[in-house]
């Protein structure tokens, strides 16, 4: 047992969960898997919800207003709601239920606006983490506008590829935070923050 240590940084676990979601949506949006996979994806996302809601609460308890709130609303909507919806849509397709899914676009529009307006806060974060957020800043609004019917499904290649990019940088950041913290020095460079007057707990 360890005694007298500060609480560990939960950010890497949240980033791995995010990367899992990004990789699987990349596969769906770019046609790497068939639409029949969405029910399985829904189950994976519910697992991601468990991780991210814990991370969000811990980050808020650590005083990280930005990361804590991001992980909390991502856990609720990107993970839990989307996971349950994908399972519902799978059965809706089987049984022929008629559903106006454009409501999803309006929900994602609100999440997109929140993400975009909070992005400047990540200029105080490691550069690799900022790359995650900037990739999501492109992918999430595209998903919102596709769901609303404003953009066509040919935009899936854009959302899919930027989700893939976000996932890669998320894994890289998690890798760096874990190893750098474990060894007490920079093993994996994450890139210096653009704005350096404060520190965010998700990485150094």
Q: What pLDDT does residue 196 have? A: 83
Q: Is 63 left (phi over 0), alpha (psi -120 to 50) or beta?
A: left
Q: What is the CATH number of domain 11-180?
A: 1.25.40
Q: Is the pLDDT of residue 200 over 50?
A: no
Give the end-to-end CA distance of the chain in Å, rounded to a whole number.
Answer: 26
Q: What pLDDT does residue 204 have? A: 46
- By the 8 A CB rule, do 83 and 45 touch? yes
Q: Is the pLDDT of residue 12 over 70?
A: yes
Judged by DSSP in three states, 137 sits in helix
- By the 8 A CB rule, do 189 and 180 touch? no
Q: Is the pLDDT of residue 60 over 70?
A: yes
Please tell me the least confidently modeled range out of 10-24, 84-98, 124-138, 187-201.
187-201
Q: Which residue has the higher pLDDT, 204 or 182?
A: 182
Q: What pLDDT does residue 128 have? A: 98
- By the 8 A CB rule, do 137 and 119 touch? yes
Q: Where are the domains of the chain?
A: 11-180
Size of the chain in residues: 204
The radius of gyration computed from the CA coordinates of the chain, to the nearest angstrom, equals: 17
pLDDT band at residue 6 under the 50/70/90 scheme: confident
Confidence (pTM):
0.90
How much is the average pLDDT of 130-154? Answer: 97
Q: What is the mean pLDDT of the chain?
A: 93
């Amino acid at each position: 047992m360890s005694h007298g240590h500060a609480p560990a940084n939960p950010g890497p676990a949240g980033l791995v969960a995010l990367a899992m979601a990004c990789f699987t949506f990349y596969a769906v949006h770019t046609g790497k898997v068939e639409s029949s996979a969405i029910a399985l994806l829904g189950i994976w996302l519910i697992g991601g919800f468990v991780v991210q809601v814990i991370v969000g609460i811990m980050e808020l308890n650590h005083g990280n207003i930005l990361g804590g709130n991001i992980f909390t609303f991502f856990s609720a909507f990107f993970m839990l709601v989307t996971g349950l919806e994908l399972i519902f849509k799978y059965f809706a397709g089987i049984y022929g239920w008629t559903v106006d899914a454009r409501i999803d676009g309006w929900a994602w529009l609100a999440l997109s606006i929140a993400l975009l307006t909070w992005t400047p806060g990540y200029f105080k974060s490691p550069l690799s983490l900022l790359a995650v957020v900037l990739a999501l800043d492109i992918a999430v609004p595209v998903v919102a506008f596709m769901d609303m019917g404003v953009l066509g499904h040919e935009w899936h290649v854009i959302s899919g590829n930027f989700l893939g990019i976000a996932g890669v940088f998320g894994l890289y950041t998690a890798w760096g935070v874990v190893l750098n913290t474990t060894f007490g020095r920079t093993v994996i460079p994450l890139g210096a923050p653009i704005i350096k007057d404060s520190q965010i707990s998700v990485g150094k």
